[in-house]
Structure 1
Amino acid sequence: MTAFRAFRIHHDDAGHRAGIESMETGALSSGEVLVKVAYSSVNYKDALAGTGKGRILRTYPLNGGIDVAGHVVASTDPAFREGDAVLCTGSGLSETRDGGYGEYARLDARWTIPLPAGLSLRESMIIGTAGFTAALALLRMQDNRQRPALGPIAVNGASGGVGMLAIDIFSRAGYEVHAISGKADHFDFLRGLGASECIDRHQLVFSGKPMDTARFGGALDNVGGAMLSGLLPLIHPYGNVALCGNAGGVAFDSTVMPFIIRGASLLGIASAGTARDLRDRIWRHLANDWKPRHLDRIATREIGLDGLSGIFTRMLAGDSFGRTLVRIDNTV
């Protein structure tokens, strides 16, 4: 067994507490693949779990971090050998098993992805769950016949991690992207990622009609609530709205009209439980034809394990921008 540092989350009779602790690899969750972690990342879900503001973990204690990338140091599965570069996102990390905020992680071989050629470990964690979610949305939309000719894709919550990566990924895949954000001071940055038009959320007025003049070929909705209600009547015939967030609320009002008159589709995007065959398809795309072109710009900060608590507070206060990369192995 090897001793190492980890950001560990507890919840018991004494309440919630989380911070850096020393533990041994023998205490990690079960799994076939032991990894020396190089990088992780920070997602909104990580901030909720790490502060106790959201009940993300289903069992305690666990190491935080829903993303992880590193090198295999031991494996009982013949598909993985010592030295292999691998990654994992979601799949129970920091929910039912120890996550990526530790110098070591033990992974379930079923959900461990060999790092595809064309990506570095660092790049894979800038992408992380946020970029995987955006790419899963694109995959599901294209499987449902979304094509650039249908018209521009609206991306709301465009200043967040999923939104930024979606702009980069969708534009790389040949789509015109219209970014919707309440942060007008970020519009030049979003245009630099590939948005052809930026729309101020505060000035976006919906008519409230069951259907309105078609404006978008499809949409990636990070918000839900009233934003989703307003977007559905604006979708071109047979366009898709991929729903992956609820920052604007879990309920929305709509009618059947966009669906039975224009043939619009509402696609749910649940990245954490994505089937293995889809994961493989998506990571191959992300390493090749959908690889974001502006990863170094999207990674606006890099921290170590000791910086996690501070960034969680900033993220939940709405004071974060871009993706936060967590460097765990300073030798890489």
Structure 2
Amino acid sequence: MSDVKAYAAQSETSGLAPFGFQPRAPRPDDVSIEIDYCGVCHTDIHFAQNDWGRTLYPVVPGHEIIGRVTAVGSDVSGFQVGDRVGVGCMVDSCRQCSSCEQGLEQYCREGMTPTYNGTDRHDGLRTYGGYSERIVVSDRFVVRVPEQLDPATAAPLLCAGITTYSPLKHFGVGPGHKVGVLGMGGLGHMGVKFARALGAEVTIFTRSESKVAEAKKQGADHVVVSTDPEQMAAVALNFDFLLDTIPVHHDLNPYLETLKVDGTHILVGMIEPIEPTVHSRNLISKRRILTGSLIGGMPETQEVLDFCAEHDIGCDIEMLDIHNINDAYERMKRGDVKYRFVIDMKSLKDA
């Protein structure tokens, strides 16, 4: 079997460069996929640059994968050659714990196997992600991409999409609810689209007056400039839910004060530890809930793709040739993308 072309980081300072690896041999429950598009998530940067101190080098990032099936194992019945499919943030789990049995594989008691920077549970080999030509994945962790969806704009749905859709569905957001979305990046703009499609009234919180027009263009009913004390005071005790997509440290206390009694503040950005300190009175005084949510399980990942096909929802993207990936990372760190880069993997095949 020939090497797979890919882009990998060899160290925290190396950047990404061409790399080849030997794919694992397909198993009876596997689906072999030729990758057409791969979204670029901020998590990819964290792992490429070892921001969290747990990167296994070389690392091939990418967990927003869209492609076509090229082969299926003897035990696979749900997919066939030619199907358009997707792979998200995980490629395996224990499949036996209570979470896995409920289709909540992201909360697997033993820990899910990530699409990249993980170790295969069966053969101990490294998992490599979607910045590559091909990938082999168990059919349980492959989803079908409706033909109505544009495959490029669908790629980020496998992380940015499911990360924002899952908590909105879990907490029952719907008509009559007021939802505030904190942050207007890749996750935030998807949160607006989903909350609107679910029937909620949506407000975007932004730190910059210059982003008000763009926030309304994204479909927000209202915009609050969070650095303006008067605007924040005007929305005190106003929201049923806050979907917090901000990926860096920020003070939660002013936002908590905008929640109604029994309001829920949902964290989806990895901002540990939470700083500055959350004031307990902001929770106790109005019985507010501060909670978090991690991507979604496989049934719900299929559900979000079907929901997007039904409601004509896609991610706003900028297409990217893979040889520009290091420049793209720098632009992402500056917030200079609206709102998600997607790699056209043809650029890797042509290279």
Q: TM-score, normalised by structure 1?
A: 0.82
1:164 aligns with 2:186: no
Q: Partners in 2 of 1:238 and 1:256 — Cα distance?
A: 14
Tell me which residue corresponds to 1:72.
69
Q: CA deviation at 1:34?
A: 1.7
Q: Choose from 268, 286, 290 the match for 2:308.
A: 286
User: One-letter code of the match for 1:23?
Assistant: G
Give the conservation status (yes or no) of the 8 Å contact 1:139–1:282.
Answer: no
Tell me which residue corresponds to 1:83.
82
1:108 aligns with 2:138: yes
Distance 1:44 1:138, change over 3 A: same
Q: Partners in 2 of 1:182 and 1:286 — Cα distance?
A: 29
Query: What's the CA shift string for 1:199-252, capped at 9, x where partnerless?
Result: 2232247999xxx94121211012375542222232123332221114596235
Q: CA deviation at 1:270?
A: 0.9
User: One-letter code of the match for 2:34?
Assistant: K
SS of equivalent residue, structure 2 residue 195: helix
Query: What's the CA shift string for 1:180-214, capped at 9, x where partnerless?
Result: 11233232122111111112232247999xxx941
Distance 1:129 1:207, change over 3 A: closer
Q: Choose from 251, 254, 268 the match for 1:230.
A: 254
Q: Which sections of structure 1, spanning at least 5 residues, go unmatched?
A: none
Query: What's the CA shift string for 1:10-57, capped at 9, x where partnerless?
Result: 24xxx6534332525536898822210000111111122234444463
Q: Partners in 2 of 1:29 and 1:264 — Cα distance?
A: 48
Q: Choose from 154, 162, 172 the match for 1:132.
A: 162
Give the conservation status (yes or no) of the 8 Å contact 2:7–2:60.
Answer: yes
User: One-letter code of the match for 1:305?
Assistant: I
Give the conservation status (yes or no) of the 8 Å contact 1:8–1:61.
Answer: yes
Distance 1:267 1:181, change over 3 A: same
Q: Partners in 2 of 1:64 and 1:261 — Cα distance?
A: 43
Q: CA deviation at 1:112?
A: 1.0
Structure 1 stretches of at least 4 aligned residues deviating more than 6 Å after TM superposition: 28-31, 205-208
Q: CA deviation at 1:138?
A: 1.1
Distance 1:237 1:116, change over 3 A: farther
SS of equivalent residue, structure 2 residue 239: coil
Q: Partners in 2 of 1:275 and 1:128 — Cα distance?
A: 11
> Which is further off, 1-10 or 257-266?
257-266
Query: What's the CA shift string for 1:72-127, capped at 9, x where partnerless?
Result: 11221413222111111111122312111011122232211111353232231143
Q: Which sections of structure 2, spanning at least 5 residues, go unmatched?
A: 91-113, 119-126
Distance 1:148 1:75, change over 3 A: same
Q: CA deviation at 1:71?
A: 0.6
Q: TM-score, normalised by structure 2?
A: 0.78
Q: Partners in 1 of 2:66 and 2:280 — Cα distance?
A: 43
Q: Partners in 1 of 2:43 and 2:230 — Cα distance?
A: 30
Q: Partners in 2 of 1:82 and 1:108 — Cα distance?
A: 15
SS of equivalent residue, structure 1 residue 237: strand
Q: CA deviation at 1:256?
A: 4.8
Distance 1:207 1:329, change over 3 A: closer
Tell me which residue corresponds to 2:110.
none
Tell me which residue corresponds to 1:195.
220
Give the conservation status (yes or no) of the 8 Å contact 1:50–1:309.
Answer: no
1:250 aligns with 2:295: no
Tell me which residue corresponds to 2:94.
none
SS of equivalent residue, structure 1 residue 188: helix
Q: Choose from 39, 43, 46 the match for 1:45.
A: 43
SS of equivalent residue, structure 1 residue 163: helix
Q: CA deviation at 1:171?
A: 1.4
Percent of aligned pairs with the same residue? Answer: 18
Tell me which residue corresponds to 1:219.
242
Higher helix share: 1
